[in-house]
Structure 1
Amino acid sequence: MSDTIPRKPPPSRVRLTWSVMLLVAYASIVLLATMWPTPIDRGWSGAIDDLLDIAHRNGLPWWFGYRKLEFGANIAMFVPLGFLIGMALPRRAVWATLVIVPAFSIGIEALQGALLAERFASPLDVVANTMGGWIGFAALGVVRGAITSRDERLIARAIWDHEARRRASAEGLRMRAGVR
């Protein structure tokens, strides 16, 4: 057996490829929704009010109205974005997600205020979007932690199995040779 240390396998590009493709697709959807010339809920106020009325009759607190729903929708819209930005970045730079998310949101709000007559920039939207992106980033941390833990267990098991087979093989050779 050689005394050379095995080389580390080259990194897989699967995570990077998929995360960048999904990030571009999802960011495009976010940009389409946020840069649409008119508010995306236009024409839906009656349906939204009906939905909230039903939800209130079924236990949703009465203080939860349209503004809270919109704030929550902004949070929810940015959760996947924070997750995907973090996935697309290398581990050593993943912290940049904490800066990229609010910068992206500020950029959107600035463009809405400057270019779209029927839309308006809202600092509250920046807060909600940032919260959502950071929640997505935190979820990425949980997922990466779970994957790392699983991988460490699989590697430890593979090493243990390899060593057990090696010991069994050596024992078998000794027994065939009549050495105890």
Structure 2
Amino acid sequence: MKQFENSRLWRVVLTAMLIPLAFVAFWPSPVDQPFQGQLAALLKFLHRHGIPTWLNYTFVEASANVALFVPVGLVSSLAFPSWPWWKIGAFGFLISCCMELGQLLFLHNRFPSPLDLVTNTSGAVIGALLAAAALKQLQARRLPAADL
């Protein structure tokens, strides 16, 4: 029963997390637009000082998409504890598909991207795997105490 109560709480947290994610996804213009100039200048500065050129805007944007979905995967794992990591990944993919489809259909200043589907899904999978590893570690710490 306690497991069900905890998963119910995590489902509320997940729902609350999806609200700001929807704002990011459906904002009329790209959310990074106000910072693109500063980011480009920073990247040029870093490249001039030895940072490899593969660390470019595309890499930063893809990394941000992964990072944005890691908490989604982590909290989804707690909200749906019986789901394996791949099901959490599929859930992240579904959320990402809804976001990209919404951008395609409703936002003329936003552009859907297959790379976003991949990076968002990857973030959800990473979050699910991190949750599984953390829960396994917690269970391993509790077992020796139970043997006493």
TM-score by length of 1: 0.74
Residues 13-56 of structure 1, C-alpha deviations (whole Å, 9 max, x = no match): 56324422321222112111111111111122211112223433
Identify which of 21, 24, 37 aligns with 2:15.
24
Counterpart CA distance in 1 for 2:143 and 2:36 is 51
Counterpart CA distance in 2 for 1:81 and 1:137 is 8
Identify which of 19, 34, 45 aligns with 2:36.
45
Gaps of 5+ in 2: none
Counterpart CA distance in 2 for 1:146 and 1:53 is 42
Residues 97-155 of structure 1, C-alpha deviations (whole Å, 9 max, x = no match): 13211111111111110111110111110001011110001101101110111121221
TM-score by length of 2: 0.89
Higher share in helix: 2
Identify which of 2, 5, 10 aligns with 1:11.
2
1:156 aligns with 2:147: yes
Q: Secondary structure at the match of 2:2?
A: coil
Structure of larger gyration radius: 1
Name the amino acid aligned to 2:43. Answer: L
How large is the RMSD of aligned CA atoms in angstroms?
A: 1.8
Gaps of 5+ in 1: 1-9, 158-180
Size of the aligned set, in residue pairs, is 147
CA contact (8 A) 2:89 2:122 kept: no
Identify which of 104, 109, 115 aligns with 1:118.
109
Deviation of residue 58 (structure 1)?
A: 5.1
| Structure 2 match to 1:106 | 97
